[in-house]
Structure formats: structure tokens, C-alpha cells
Amino acid sequence: MAILVCGGAGYIGSHTVKELVDTYEVVVLDNLTTGFEHLVDERATFIQGDLGDRTVLDKIFLAHDIDAVFHFAANSLVGESVEKPLKYYRNNVSATLVLLEKMVEHGVKRFIFSSTAATYGIPETAVITEETATSPINPYGRSKLMVEQALADIAHVHDFQYVVLRYFNAAGAHQSGKIGESHDPESHLIPIVLQHLLGQREKISVFGTDYATADGTCVRDYIHVTDLARAHILSYQGIANGKIANATFNLGNGAGYSVNEIIKECERLSGKQANIEYAPRRAGDPATLVASSKKIEEALGWTPDFDLQAIISSAWAWHSK
């Protein structure tokens, strides 16, 4: 039996494939619009194609005995989603619905879905639990919430089980040093700061200094990509052995760091000083997003292994290569 990883050539997908291939047969489907084939572990079967392509999906489901689908393939930039909402609804919602239709048609009944803290919008509590109301403030968050809602409806009537994983801020690189965070163009804070400290960017722009946070910059909860990967595998095993079904879990470290604090920690670990420009707010950014991940800890025994220092050190090791 195999696992189909949609978006397995992307940042989080490729790290999860690396954790999976030791134990499972893995098939990766990726259209390479934001992913890179060289990130895919060579032990996986790589297929270049679109999630919304019924012919490609039929071929995969007929050729391989797929037991579960891990779905990472999505556009995930908050700012871009505000500028290009149709792209987000087409790629994140419509294409995913085609995948889900094909899964049901071929009797594939286990689904692990990459969702996001952006589904919560501007939360009313300092620490977000899965009970916190969802009210996304950007098309990216809305596109993910729409799929979450579709999953509940599908599982209600079909022999189909899912786990929704709401990531907070994924960061860091694989311990092998072979893969790490890589987007083109890069828009995420930690890689941008590290690229700047390595002399690959002139300066860092801090988007917004007037948020209702201790230092006025946005606070986020950073979680290591390998911790995320492990949570996917535990979730799959959890539904396969009947421990859980149709669950939604937050994945974060439970600690918030401001943009200024991240820059300071990167400076400290690299021993270099940053050239910072204070810029206007970026569209769609909530002030603070910090997770409680108690629910997945209680259900599956998952706890993060990497703290902020370990996250940034692993990213620095990879970016410095």
C-alpha cells in the first residue's frame, strides 16, 4: 500500500516525504509551479501533474494501491491571496474538490489535509485552541476553511476519514542538510532574514510596527517542518488504527515571537547585524497567532522537538550551504 503526497515537491511536502519513505511506499504528485523536483527523495515515485487533472488522478489511483492522500499542494501566501483571490479559490478549493471526488470514486478513504492558522482570522484569545471561532480575514484562510467544511460533509456520507492540520508558521530545514525552505520568490520571514544576513539581500523590510503587540510588530508561532511532518504521519497512523477519525488539530510550539524578536535571534545565531527598514503593514496579516497544540498531544502524543533556536539554527545551516 502506498501514500500519495500531493505537493510533495514543496517545502513541507518534501520534508514529509523524507520522513515517510523509510517506512512507506510514496507517490508524489506535484505540478512544480512552486515546488522543486530535486527536493523529492529519490525513493519516492515522482509524477508531474495537476491536482485538478482527472486523467492524471485516475492513472495514479489505478496504478498504485493508495491507502491515503496527504494534501500539501496549495498556494499559501496571505498577501498574494488578497491580490489574486481567484487563483486561490481555483487552486486551493476547486482542484482539491476534484481530488476528493476522485478519491471517493476510487475508494481511497484516508485524507490528511494541510490547513492553516489563517482560518482563525483575528482571534479573540491570546492562545488559539481548535475551539476558537474560525473567521478568516484573507482569501487564503477562507480557501482552506472551505475545504475543511467540505471534508466534514464528505465524511458524513462517504466511507472517508480525514485529519485537518492547522499549521502555524512552518520554518527550519531537514536535519540531513539536504533540503530546506525554498520558495521563488521568497516571502517568508526567517529565510528572508537569513538570506539578508548571508549578503543575498540588501535589507529586511518589517511589515508594520503599529500592531497591538509588545513591540508593535506581528507575533507568530514558529514550528519546525520536521515536527509538522511527524504530525502528518501520526495522524495517518491514528486514523488507520482507528484511534481518531475526522479530527482537526493545531500544530504550533505554543510560543509567540515578534518579527523584531525573530530578526534579533537570527542576528545572534549568525553573529551578523541586519539592515532593517520599517515598512507599512502587509495586507491580510493578523497581529498575533499563537497555538495551543494540547489536543494533538492528548490524542496522538505529538509534541514538538524543536524550539525557536533549533528552528533557526537548522535553517541557518541549510541556507549557509
Query: Which class for 25: exposed (0-12), middle (13-18), buried (19 or more C-beta within 10 A)?
Result: middle
Cα radius of gyration (the chain)? 19
Q: Does 15 bind ligand UDP (CB under 6 A)?
A: no
Collapsed DSSP state (helix, strand, coil) of residue 4: strand
β pairing state of 257-258 and 219-220: antiparallel
Identity of the amino acid at 118: A
Nearer to ligand UDP, 120 or 236 (CB): 120
In the bound complex, which residue of the shown chain has the CB atom lying closest to ligand UDP? 218
Nearer to ligand UDP, 26 or 311 (CB): 311
- Which of 149, 187, 200, 275 contacts ligand UDP by CB under 6 A? 187
How far is Cα 29 from Cα 4, in angstroms, rounded to an integer? 7
Which residues inside 32-91 make contact with ligand UDP, applying CB under 6 A? Answer: 78
Q: Which stretch binds ligand UDP (CB under 6 A): 96-104, 105-113, 201-209, 242-250?
A: 201-209
Which residues inside 208-237 make contact with ligand UDP, applying CB under 6 A? Answer: 218, 220
Reported residue count of the chain is 321
Nearer to ligand UDP, 180 or 238 (CB): 180
**204 with 260: CB under 8 angstroms?**
no
- The closest alpha carbon to 195, from 266, 128, 129, belongs to 266
**Set of cell numbers at residue 251:** 500544530
Q: 24, 88, 140, 222: which is the annotated catalytic residue?
A: 140
What is residue 301's DSSP assignment? -
Q: Does 264 bind ligand UDP (CB under 6 A)?
A: no
Q: Does 278 bind ligand UDP (CB under 6 A)?
A: no
Question: Rounded to the nearest 10 degrees, how much is the dihedral formed by the CA atoms of 153, 157, 160, 161?
Answer: 50
**Set of cell numbers at residue 304:** 514538538
Q: Which stretch binds ligand UDP (CB under 6 A): 152-160, 182-190, 266-274, 291-299?
A: 182-190
**Set of cell numbers at residue 17:** 516525504
Number of neighbours of residue 107 by Cβ within 10 angstroms: 11
- Which of 28, 197, 206, 225 contacts ligand UDP by CB under 6 A? 206
Give the DSSP letter string of 121-148.
-S-SSSSB-TTSPP--SSHHHHHHHHHH
Q: Does 28 bind ligand UDP (CB under 6 A)?
A: no
Q: How far is the CB of 178 from ligand UDP (least distance, A)?
A: 22
Nearer to ligand UDP, 135 or 205 (CB): 205
Q: How far is the CB of 204 from ligand UDP (least distance, A)?
A: 6
Nearer to ligand UDP, 2 or 117 (CB): 117
11 is an active site residue? no
Q: Does 128 bind ligand UDP (CB under 6 A)?
A: no
Q: How far is the CB of 206 from ligand UDP (least distance, A)?
A: 4
As annotated, the active-site residues are 140
Residues that bind ligand UDP (CB under 6 A): 78, 169, 187-189, 192, 204-207, 218, 220, 259, 282, 285
